[in-house]
Structure 1
Amino acid sequence: MESHTAAQAAKVSPMSFDPSSFLTVRVGPEGSQQEFLLHEGIICKRSEFFRRAMNGNWSEKKARLVKLPEDDPNIFALYVNLVYMGELSRPSDLTKTTSNEFQAHILATVKFYVLAEKLQDKQAKNTALTTTHADMTRRSSADKLPNAEIVEFMYKNTLKGSPGRRLMVDIWNDDNTKCILEQSEVVCKEFFIDLAYSLHAYRPARMRNVASVSSFTSYHEQL
């Protein structure tokens, strides 16, 4: 009797490496484009976006060319690296990076998350959030919070209730109130509304009405 493993192997079609099984992805605006030659079987297995583009009667299927003019070639290169190498490229030792370098790394990871959402690759999205969560929570210096640019980029490019938005809120929720208030003028309003709800939810019930534990004379003007 054929073994279970052999039966499973029989169901897996061998991957074709014929030139016709590759597709070109052109990324970036006119004048600064970069082309990536990718194996259709590999990229379509990961991405619903590419799977739909290469199925049906679409021009992309006929030309074997997918254009992403609004995306950053450097961020797409991170995606290709993850698909083919199984890991998201990042600095070897984040503790030795400067504040600007660290924030640039987090911004790139957030941009990667947004791209993965566009490409409909849940596995890549999860990798981006795992990386962001690990890198931000392990950072002990004052710049451990995602800055205003990072938060705004996440909020402008995701929908309400997005796991990426929730991560931004939860990281900020772990910090002191003074730091939050200092950023209030530069971080987008929608984020602060989400943060306010989050802070309220985690605040101890006995602390939610400060007036109830304060003397009425606390509100009197001095005579």
Structure 2
Amino acid sequence: MYVTSGTTNRSLKQPTSQAVNKKRHENYLDGRSIEVIVGSSPSVTFSVHENLICSSSDFFKKAVQGGWKESEDRLVRLESDDPDVFSIYLHWLYYHTLPVRIDEPGLAGNAEYMQLANAFILGDMFQDGNFQDAVMDAMMDKTASEAADGKHWYPVGPVIRLIYENTFESSKARLFLVDMYTLHGQGHWLTEWAVQEDLPKDFLLDVAASLLEHRPHPLSYYLVLGSCRYHQHEPEARACYKNVPALRPKRG
């Protein structure tokens, strides 16, 4: 809105949704804090604003405001969880960003996928769908970004096992893996970048079903009458039994 010369009218522009969200976020920083003890031997103690974490996580809302012992002590213990992963969640709560970005190829890059997978699983425990969505967006961004070697690297091996052992059948993280392997997967992902223990039966069945569902049509390259694709002999056509007159199939 502009004001013509000689007038003193104030802009009647309404606050944007971004400004409203910022104000709401600032309000969450008012009030008391709680302590969260994460891990064991050693454990790490985090301090977080109660209103902020309870507004995002149903888990903490029930623990802190549900009349349990935690609400009296203002203390939540997460002894079986990883402080490094919880710090990712805490960073997202306060800054709405994920402090992860490794552009190294190979195992180093896969380690970040492991970190993100653990964050997704923690978000499921915390019942914080928005955080889980942010984690999935980070995974998508990582697959779409080139690593330092100019290539795209996808989640392999232990990441698959971690997700499948800690999520339900309907998990979006599982769907993400299946889509990745259906649309971009290569055979050596399963042979060179994973061991058998990293490939749960459910994952292999999901990928197989997805490939059947999304297989390209037509399959003329593969299912061609007269092709030697499924023969035992070497690729050279001259090695085929059909080139031996005595063995050549007779046409009726």
SS at 1:144 equivalent = coil
Cα distance in structure 1, aligned partners of 2:231 and 2:96: 60
Cα distance in structure 2, aligned partners of 1:179 and 1:159: 27
Cα distance in structure 2, aligned partners of 1:77 and 1:181: 32
Cα distance in structure 1, aligned partners of 2:180 and 2:83: 28
Aligned residues, how many? 210
Deviations 1:146-177 (A, max 9, x none): 12101110111110021000001111122354
Match among 211, 214, 219 for residue 199 of structure 1: 211
Indicate the structure (1 or 2) with the bigger Cα radius of gyration.
Answer: 2
Cα offset, 1:70, TM superposition: 1.2
1:25 aligns to what? 36
RMSD between superposed Cα atoms in Å: 3.1
- Checking the alignment, whether the CA contact within 8 Å between 1:106 and 1:146 is kept in structure 2 is yes
Work out whether 1:172 is the aligned partner of 2:181: yes
Match among 69, 72, 88 for residue 78 of structure 1: 88
Work out whether 1:150 is the aligned partner of 2:162: no
Gaps of 5+ in 1: none
Cα offset, 1:208, TM superposition: 9.3
- Checking the alignment, whether the CA contact within 8 Å between 1:99 and 1:143 is kept in structure 2 is no
The verdict on how the C-alpha distance between 1:56 and 1:199 changes in structure 2, with shifts beyond 3 A counting, is same
SS at 2:47 equivalent = strand
Cα distance in structure 2, aligned partners of 1:89 and 1:124: 13
- Checking the alignment, whether the CA contact within 8 Å between 1:26 and 1:69 is kept in structure 2 is yes
Work out whether 1:188 is the aligned partner of 2:200: yes
- Checking the alignment, whether the CA contact within 8 Å between 2:119 and 2:135 is kept in structure 1 is yes
The verdict on how the C-alpha distance between 1:174 and 1:184 changes in structure 2, with shifts beyond 3 A counting, is farther
Deviations 1:1-48 (A, max 9, x none): xx9x79xx9xx8955745xx211111112x221111111000000101
Match among 122, 126, 130 for residue 129 of structure 2: 122
Cα distance in structure 2, aligned partners of 1:175 and 1:207: 18
Cα offset, 1:115, TM superposition: 0.5
TM normalised by structure 1 equals 0.81
SS at 1:54 equivalent = helix
Work out whether 1:69 is the aligned partner of 2:76: no
Cα distance in structure 1, aligned partners of 2:97 and 2:57: 16
SS at 2:100 equivalent = coil
2:111 maps to amino acid: A
The verdict on how the C-alpha distance between 1:208 and 1:57 changes in structure 2, with shifts beyond 3 A counting, is farther
Work out whether 1:133 is the aligned partner of 2:140: yes
Q: Identify the structure with bigger relative contact order (alpha carbons < 8 Å, sequence gap 6+).
A: 1
1:111 aligns to what? 118
Deviations 1:42-97 (A, max 9, x none): 00001010011112221111111111111100000010000011100013x61xx2
